[in-house]
């Protein structure tokens, strides 16, 4: 079984639905290519996803001595975190709920086979 290098960010204050739009762009790419793509994506979620992919790459380099040229994004996903339930009072006695959603992002890197 191939060795996996992992990094996780929890309670990111962006909804999982919006984070998945960014995460889907880099799945399966080489790490260096993924970081270049994330650097120029205009979505707000791109910066935290960039940081967690970079963190996983640096973990592999520093802790295991793997070169970044051999790594690719094997798996990356955004799960739902907790939801803060707030609200605002509306006209005619109504209540308008505001849901402040959070997400968890997990990145798993693997080495490319030399075949």
Residues 6-48: pLDDT tens digits? 999 999 999 999 999 999 999 999 999 999 999 999 999 999 9
Mean pLDDT of the chain: 95
Q: Report the pLDDT averaged over residues 87-97.
A: 96
pLDDT of 44 reads 96
Does this model's pTM top 0.85? yes
Q: What is the DSSP string of 32-55?
A: HHHHHHHHT--STTHHHHHHHHHH
Q: Are 76 and 107 in contact (CB under 8 A)?
A: yes
Assign 1 a pLDDT band (cuts: 50, 70, 90): low
Assign 113 a pLDDT band (cuts: 50, 70, 90): confident
pLDDT of 2 reads 79
Q: Is the pLDDT of residue 112 over 80?
A: yes
78-89 pLDDT, tens per residue?
999 999 999 999
CATH number assigned to the domain covering 4-111: 3.90.470.10
Q: H or E element: which one contains 60?
A: helix 46-64
């Amino acid at each position: 079984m191939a060795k996996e290098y992992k990094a996780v960010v929890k309670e990111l204050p962006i909804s999982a639905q919006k984070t998945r739009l960014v995460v889907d762009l880099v799945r399966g790419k080489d790490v260096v290519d993924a970081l270049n793509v994330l650097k120029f994506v205009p979505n707000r979620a791109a910066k935290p996803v960039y940081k967690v992919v970079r963190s996983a790459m640096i973990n592999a380099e520093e802790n295991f001595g793997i070169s970044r040229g051999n790594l690719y994004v094997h798996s990356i996903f955004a799960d739902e975190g907790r939801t803060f339930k707030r609200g605002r009072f509306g006209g005619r006695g109504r209540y308008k709920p505001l849901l402040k959603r959070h997400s968890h992002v997990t990145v798993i890197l693997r080495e490319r086979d030399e075949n």
